[in-house]
Amino acid sequence: MADELSDFLKLVAEEKAKVKAKPKKVAKAKPDMSELFKQLAELKEQETKKAEVTQEQLQQFEQIFSPKNVEAIIEEVAEEVEAEELVEEVIEPVVEEVKEQTLVEKSLGLLAAPSDEKNSDPLTPLNQDFVTQKDFQKHYTKIIERIQQQLSTVGGGGETRLSFMDTATTLVTSSSYEVSRRDYYIGVNYAGAVTITLPVATKTGKTFVVKDESGEAGRGTNRYITVLPAAGDLIDSKDRAILAYDWGSLTFVWRGDSWRVI
């Protein structure tokens, strides 16, 4: 009996030892859904801001390159080109004339100053004495240079700028054309009515020639070549001139207050 009780207690002890040896189950942590939703909201906000910036940049681009702004830019460039043409046509000839006058005055400066007075000209006074032969040779060389310079300004003349010597020709093959200040001869070869607009004149005597090169200007109103002056100007006291005969031409000369047809 004692042996059986001892075996029973031994068995109970072994079972308790097995229970203690088993690992305890660890409870799994539940994910924090609020933190996840917070991150998703931040990402969505960032994407929204990016979309707003992109939309704003797109609107700015469309505004800058709108047809109205593009037209304004083109007009500004055209005005700058017209200003450059005005400088070439009006101001540059004056500058060239001043340069020519300066050269003549410089070359003839000795004749304009009294010969017996000392001035900025190294040849004055003409009655000076020379101490050495070297000084005399230097003075003599200067006189020869001055004579050569004076001779170079005498006779020969004539225009040397090719842009003024050659005749500028333009061919018009469309229904309209705005004449540039650099134009002279405007030939029209277009199967239809054509409108030619003259520029604002800045110099008396400015001349343009308009010619029917298609030989069809006299075949009705749908072949007429109409020449219009700039706003505010007139052509022989009228607001236009019409070329309406085959192979004909009209020459327009600015007389200071309006265009004359010759």
CATH 2.60.120.640, domain 167-261, yes or no:
yes
Domains of the chain, residue spans:
42-123, 167-261
174, 214 in Cβ contact below 8 A?
A: no
Q: Identify the three-state secondary structure at position 198.
A: coil
| pLDDT tens, residue by residue, 89-115 | 656 565 555 555 555 455 544 444 445
Residues, the chain = 262
Please give the radius of gyration of the chain, using alpha carbons only, rounded to the nearest integer: 48
Dist CA 27 CA 247 (whole Å): 107
Which residue from 123, 139, 143 is spatially nearest to 131, judged by alpha carbons?
139
How, if at all, do strands 185-188 and 169-172 pair? parallel
For the stretch 40-99, pLDDT in tens is 888 888 888 888 877 787 777 677 766 666 677 777 766 666 666 655 665 656 555 555
Strand pairing of 225-228 and 259-261?
Answer: unpaired
218 token code pair = 């006299």
